[in-house]
Every structure is written in structure tokens, then in C-alpha cells.
Amino acid sequence: MKILRTIKKKIYFFVASYFRFWAKIYLRRWNPKIIAVIGSSGKTTLLHLFEAELGERARYSHHANSTFGIPFHILGLQRKSFNIIEWPLFALLSPFRAFRGLPKEKLYVVEADAERPGEGKFLAQLLKPEGLVWLSLEEAHGINFDRIVASSGDNHREAVKEAMANEFGHFLETTKGFSILNADNRFITKQSKRTKSKVIPVSEKEIRSFKIVNEGVEIETLVGNFSLPRLVPPASSLSVVAVSTAVKTLGFKVDSTFRNFELPPGRSSVFQGIENTTLIDSTYNATMDGMRTMLDLTRRHPAIGEKWLVLGDMIEQGKSEEAEHIDIAKDILSVSPARVILVGPRLTKYTYPPLVKHLGTQKVIAFLMPGEALLYLKRELKGGETILFKGARYLEGVVEKLLLNPSDASKLCRREAIWVNQRKKWQI
């Protein structure tokens, strides 16, 4: 098995190197000032905060943050059918795409991941950014680092985080201008020694207050007061500070209202639901940190009616899966929910027992499949509830069936045919 994994890894990066080669040629011709946004979670929010501030001055790597995704984006190649035929077609097109016309923008803001060993180094050598923003480090996709870490228990979780931080740290080595880093995260600060760029620390200590206003938020910080026209979790306050700092460092004026801020589907979107319910749709991804931030947002939400939670499994946790799903119970309890609906084998096995111990079986129920959760919701909703949807197991399909206005379904995540078919297999 170890030999097979080694062969698979070499083939993976060997094929990716072909596309990176042509992407490098295009970048050299274009020569933009690159700002890289990295971390375990919150990268997409950061990318869209940058877009709200920089607008048409920059180009943005929407829907691309991986070993293949970023070179494809640079070369103007976009996967649509997800059919295997796309790969040889892209291979043929790449040399021609590398010499196509150049964008007018002189800034390129890139969301970059390091979810597998070798990915951070691979992408850092391609991008060599002028500026870097790194705010989060958690055990997302920790399963990919299990095999290179020899430890167990809590020590294993720490070791996996160290390994992930080391992988992200390759971006620090290639950053030329400035690095904005979360001073509260010891894994990130430890890696800061690897950069020759100017390190600019940001901290939660700079946040004075966070307030939800209608479907937006107001944030007071030591570097200024800001407002966002979208509902984002309190943890995004640090992202606002980081982006405003980066924009100033680049020599541009900051718009404290972030008036052009938008988020892609499945990130804190608010919809009207049946029975006069309010649906908070955060179904796009399911990292532990992302789950905690959305639970914190729901805890602070000034809901008039009851607060209900519909939560799906957090996946790709590896050996820490059990401990992470047990730990999340205390964050769920902090919301003081009237009802908790768990969906998935991990939440059922690990999170359900401690929740039932505190809340009882009348308030907590667990299902394996999203369709079961939908039937329960339709049967139990009384009206006026505010419901958070967060986690895996295709919960966007549950949200779709609870929308007051069916046309709002176009604003949900995973609308492509491949996901529609997958949800049908899951009977949702």
C-alpha cells in the first residue's frame, strides 16, 4: 500500500507539473503582483473581501485553489463536465493558452490550499507572491497527513497541525513583500521565521465589537470601524482587519462599508423558508473551524423564534475524527438550541451521546441520510424558527426543499448536473 501511495503521489504531481510549466510561462508574460490567501478555512471569504475592496484592479482565482485548479485558472481552463476527456483536451490546449492575450489587471489575488503533503511547496513555487495573508490553521483534511505523522491521541492532533503548518509555510519562503499573519495562532507564528518578507501580525485583540444588523454585520476594531452587507461569522472580523491592512499596504484606500462584498452560494446565505422560518445556509463545506464559527454566529443571532441546528458530518479528519466530533458538542451546546438534528454516521456515533446527556432525546435526534432529516423537519416545524444548516451530507438539498420561494434554489451551492445526480442517489 505504501508503494502504491508513493507512486500515486509522484504521478499526481508529475501530471500537475505539466500544467504548472505552462502556467509559469503565462505568469512570466503577464507579471502581475500576486496576493496569496492561504489557510485551513475562511480563504474564500478573504478572497471576496479583497474583491470588494480592489474591484476591477485585480483578477481573482474564483473556484480554484488547488494543485490543478490554480494552473487551470491561470491558463483559462475551466472544468465543466468533470468528464475524463477534459484532461487530454486541457493538455493539448495548455501550450496555446500560455501564449494567449494578457489581462489588463496588474494584481492577481489567489486562494491557495495545502491540503496534501507537497501541495504547499508545489503552489508556492508557482505563485511566488508579493503579499500573503494567512489567518487559519486547523486539522482540515488531516487524513492526508496521518501517514507522515508517527504519534497518537492528542499528540497526534498536534503533530498533524505541525505538519500542515509546515506545508503552508512554503508560501512564506517564496513571499517577497509582506506577510499578514494571525498572531494568535502558535502554529502560524512558528512558521513566520521562514520568510524574508515584512511580517505584519494581526490579532483578535484588535476587535472591539461585533454586531449583527439585519442581514449584515458591524465591526469595531482598533484599525477602524467597518460594516458588511452580508451575514458573516464573528471570526471574519479578523479577515476584515487583515484585508484592510493589505489594501493599505498596497497603497489603496479602504472602503470601510465593503459595499460590493458578496459571498458565493453556501456561505452564510439567508433565505425565507416555509412556515415563516429563516434558513441560514452554510452548506458548502464542513471543516471543524468553519463549524465552530457558524455556531458562534448562530449563538449571537438575534432570532425572534427558536434556534434549530441541522448539522452534517465533518469529513477528512483522519485519526482525529472521534475526538473532533466529540469536542464539537460543547460548541453546539453554547448556542442553547431548541432542537438539534444531526446527519451522518460520525455525528451519530460521537456527537449524539454527549448532546443527549445534556439536552435529552426530545431536543436531539440523529439520522444517517439527509432525506430523513427533511421529513423530520417538515413534520416538526411549528413556524418562526431560525435554522442553521452546516456540514456535509448534501444538506443543500434539504434547504432547497424548505425554501418559501423555489426560485431561490438557483442561489444554493452545487447546482451542476453532477451534484444534482448525486443528491438523487442520496434520495434528496
> Where do the domains of the chain lie?
2-249, 269-425
Q: Which CATH class name applies to 2-249? A: alpha beta
Instruction: Rounding to the nearest 10 degrees, give the CA dihedral for residues 409, 413, 419, 425.
Output: -70
Question: What per-residue confidence (pLDDT) applies to 146?
Answer: 67
Q: Closest Cα partner for 263 from 43, 40, 45?
A: 45
> Cα(27)–Cα(127) distance, rounded to whole angstroms?
8
pLDDT of residue 115: 84
The CB density around residue 3, as the number of other CB atoms within 10 Å, is 7
Amino acid at 267: R
Question: Looking at the domain that runs over 269-425, which CATH code has it been given?
Answer: 3.90.190.20
| pLDDT tens for each residue of 347-370 | 999 999 999 999 999 999 999 999
pTM, to two decimals: 0.90
pLDDT of residue 288: 83
pLDDT in tens, 240-292: 999 999 999 999 999 999 999 999 999 989 999 999 999 999 998 778 888 99
- CA-based max dimension of the chain: 64
Question: How far apart are alpha carbons 108 and 33 in whole angstroms?
Answer: 6
- Cα separation, 168 vs 120, in Å, equals 5
Ranges of the chain with pLDDT below 50: none
